[in-house]
Structure 1
Amino acid sequence: MKFPSAPLTVLPAPLAAALQRCLSRAQQPVPQGLMRFLVGDWPVGWIHPMRIPALQACWPELHLSPGLARWDASGLAPAQRSERIGIVASALRERQAITGWRDEAFACEQPVSDPCAERGEMLFALERAAFRFFGLRSRAVHINGFLPGGRLLCGRRAMSKATDPGRLDNLAAGGVPVGEAFDACAQRELWEEAGVPLGLSALLQPRGQLRSTRMTPEGLHDEVLHIYHLVLPPGFVASNQDGEVSEFLSFDLESLAQRLMRDEFSVDAAAVTAWGLMHPEGGADLRA
């Protein structure tokens, strides 16, 4: 495989500009005016003030003060916290304040100084569709797939997807559910989304992490992206297994730059693609 190994500054100018823009779009500051969400004294998320009336109706023990929404749950065990906030999330779902329910739980972690370098202890598990409502930090795996000749193989998200339907994506990607290791999650997603057998996905190469933060209609998206590269053999044909990918496309540098500049990729997939081109052999982490 041959792929650009030079620094970003010597990549073709249109591609270099597109990559910088992709990273900037994925790493935006938390907007002013959001309320800090605390579990005890642990700051874990951000809530839009317009969501407070719905929260008050569903969660009477939530303490509100200027700029803060505090849940006094530090004395509860993780299972107890999970049960209580799960009931709140279900009530919000009934009010249609939370949509796209997946019946899959993510872990809300205790804050750490650098979530790209370490994981905090799990405070509670919660339905993944509720994470943006509360502005909680989640984790996901993303895999850049490289074909012989220096082409990038990408999937197109099915129109039935709850987020970013129809947009281009990496070879495979997915949120990390409670209890699953990053490597295992990446291998599972590769099989489900692209039909990559375990013998091939065992050759995954970790390529660092980046943190994606931005506002969405559902709330604050805050996610650590664990990035992998996979070199695909000649003749490999991707085959979706779970109905979440509608097609696969391979791009050379010129066509990839055009697609990125037209915003055809999801925000996180575009950032991971940019990361893959900037660091084809690894390199220092890029962190927000």
Structure 2
Amino acid sequence: MMSLLPPSLVAVIPRCLQSVRQPVPAGLIALRLGELPIGRIHPMRQALLREVWPELLPQDGALVWDATSLNVEARSDRIGAVALALRERGAITGWRGERYAFEHPVDDPCTARGEVLFRLERAAFRCLGLMSRAVHVNGFLPGARLVCGRRAMSKATDPGRLDNLAAGGLTADEDLVACARRELLEEAGVPAAISAAIESRGALRSTRMEPEGLHDEVLHVYSLRLPAGFAPSNGDGEVSEFLTLDLESLAQRLAAGEFSHDAAAVSAFGLQHPQALADLRA
């Protein structure tokens, strides 16, 4: 498949994939639920966390929350209260009023899911270095063209940068495919009759440090072949415009860093998939 892509695109794909495979910096403090590692915290946040979360105790170089005896709802309520306290102190910004599910860690979260341990406001995940999940959809028009959205300047993360056709975090208890189809409708105006044809292209994990904390997210990649003449239309105010890019234009914009890290990696990842040729021949 790679031999069918223009050399400029082949050259930039490894860099796009590497941008979301950044090693976790040394010096972060492990956050544990009992003996279970669940997150990583910047040491500068340790004092504030212990102030708003007094049962969080230092142990063997980690911060330990002894909440294994609590059920999922009780854990969710307690850590939710901690997140609210951090928000009041300005340590968490971009509050969305949406909860993600935090899962019991598994060996390969790109291919397996763990049981839900608690549900928490999505804006708190980076602060605590917790792993979340998101869906991204590469949209293809006939003639080997990708449809990309530009993130609105009002977005809390990566404002103004290019994105995939649709993308969004997986909210607690939401099905992956249902999430992808919801985002397609809200962000790009893709009706159910068209979004029913989405196909999974696997998943990759994205890790890097951001000002809010450790970004750790599994990106579930989907592909959608759009009918000729389809014109996306944003309905939730999160996309300022859509661009239709041929492969050379895509390569130039990827190389110039115009895409968000995750969207660039998802574009590259999708073009490496064995079914990419069928996508490009949409």
Normalising by structure 1, we get a TM-score of: 0.94
Task: Give the CA deviation at 1:277.
Answer: 1.4
Does the aligned pair in 2 maintain the 1:34–1:67 contact within 8 Å?
no
Matches within 5 A, 1:150-165: 150-165=144-159
Secondary structure of 2:19's aligned partner: helix
Q: Aligned letter for 1:257?
A: A
Note the residue ranges of structure 2 that are not aligned, 5 or more in a row: 278-282
Matched, 1:252 2:246: yes
58-67 or 274-283, which moves further after superposition? 274-283
Please tell me whether the aligned partners of residues 5 and 247 of structure 2 are also in contact (alpha carbons under 8 angstroms). no
Contact 1:195 1:239 (C-alpha < 8 Å) held by counterparts: yes
Letter in 1 for 2:245: F
Alignment map for 1:200-219 (pairs within 5 Å): 200-219=194-213
> What count of residue pairs does the alignment treat as equivalent?
277
Residue 12 of structure 1, CA deviation: 3.0
What letter matches 1:130 in structure 2?
Answer: A
Aligned-partner SS, 1:173: strand
Q: In the alignment, what sits opposite 1:286?
A: none
**Cα displacement (A) at 1:133:** 0.4
Is 1:239–2:242 an aligned residue pair?
no
Decide which of 38, 56, 70 is 1:62's aligned counterpart.
56
Q: Aligned equivalents of 1:117 and 1:155: distance in 2? A: 28
Distance in 2, matches of 1:249 and 1:10, equals 23
| Cα shift readout 1:211-265 (whole Å, capped 9, x = no counterpart) | 1111111111111111100000011000001000000001111111110011110
**What's the TM-score once normalised by structure 2's chain length?**
0.96
* 1:201 Cα offset (Å): 0.2
Q: Give the alignment's Cα RMSD to 1 decimal.
A: 1.3
Q: Provide the residue aligned with 1:220 in structure 2.
A: 214
The Cα shift of 1:67 comes to: 3.0
1:192 is matched by which residue type in structure 2? Answer: E
CA positional deviation for 1:13: 3.0
Q: 1:10 to 1:239 in 2, by over 3 A?
A: closer
User: 1:30 maps to which residue?
Assistant: 24
Q: Give the CA deviation at 1:53.
A: 1.3
Distance 1:64 1:246 in 2: 46
- % identical aligned pairs: 64
**1:41 positional shift:** 1.3
CA apart distance, 1:10: 6.2
Provide the residue aligned with 1:198 in structure 2: 192
The one-letter amino acid of 1:200's match is I
Contact in 1 for aligned 2:151/2:163 (Cα 8 Å): yes
Do structure 1's residue 120 and structure 2's residue 117 form an aligned pair? no
CA contact (8 A) 2:50 2:57 kept: no
| Selected match of 1:98 from 84, 92, 112 | 92
